[in-house]
Amino acid sequence: MSAFDYYPSITYNKQIGKNLLIKNVLIRDYLKEYKKFYNYTVREGERPDIIAFREYGDSSLDWIIYTINDIVDPYEDWVLDSKNFISYLENKYNTAAEKLTSVAIPTSIAHYYYRGLTSDTQEIINSYNYTMSAETYTQLGSPAGWVPKSVYDYENELNEAKRNIVLLRPIYIDQFKQQFQDLING
């Protein structure tokens, strides 16, 4: 059964759709009970349906993985495998991915970040928890301690962060489905 089977229908702009906002209440309450979850690192090429089948014995329970990880759009919010990541970069930036790895090419710089000076402590370096655009970097006269981050590295960090998800322990699946359905049918 798909997650959408649980959601109530609503009418918006004379169109019938599903009320996807209702899940937030359940998730907020469920996340308070951290013992029901465990951390999981998505492997290269692994899809939610594969994980759901291996962990829960049912590939159609991928919606639970989406729900508890607040994944609204699997095409945007799920980690891309290497091949799709390269394709994504080339489509987004309209250039070959190899060109996006070089900080020698100005258009391949995503931003500058503070790596620090030799006299800086780690605490000082960590206090610079922001980035600087290439334009600002140039206007400030190339301030010391700031280094460029390539578009490739920046996008790769964003993609790799999506590998870390949580999974609901299998013993709670039926309870979760029932509470989800009760909440929606409320």
Q: What is the pLDDT of residues 106-131, one digit of tens each?
A: 889 999 999 999 999 999 999 998 89
Percentages of the chain per state (helix, strand, coil), in multiples of 5: 55, 15, 30
Residue located via tokens 């609204």: 72
pLDDT for residue 3 is more than 60: no
Give the residue-averaged pLDDT of 158-175: 95
Same domain, 92 and 145: yes
**Enclosing domain of residue 156:** 82-160
pLDDT for residue 80 is more than 80: yes
- Give the pLDDT band (50/70/90) at residue 172: very high
Sign of CA dihedral 146, 147, 150, 155: negative
What's the number of domains the chain is made of?
A: 2
Same domain, 88 and 156: yes
Cβ 64 vs Cβ 176: under 8 Å: yes
Same domain, 121 and 174: no
pLDDT for residue 14 is more than 70: yes
Same domain, 28 and 96: no
Give the residue-averaged pLDDT of 35-46: 94
pLDDT given for residue 183 in this prediction: 74
Copy the structure tokens of residue 48. 């939610």
Same domain, 74 and 86: no
Share above pLDDT 70 across residues of the chain, in percent, rounded to a whole number? 87
pLDDT given for residue 13 in this prediction: 81
Copy the structure tokens of residue 128. 């610079």
Same domain, 8 and 45: yes
pLDDT for residue 60 is more than 80: yes
Same domain, 148 and 92: yes
pLDDT for residue 8 is more than 80: no
Q: How far apart are the C-alpha atoms of 66 and 69, rounded to whole Å?
A: 5
pLDDT for residue 1 is more than 60: no
Give the residue-averaged pLDDT of 27-39: 75
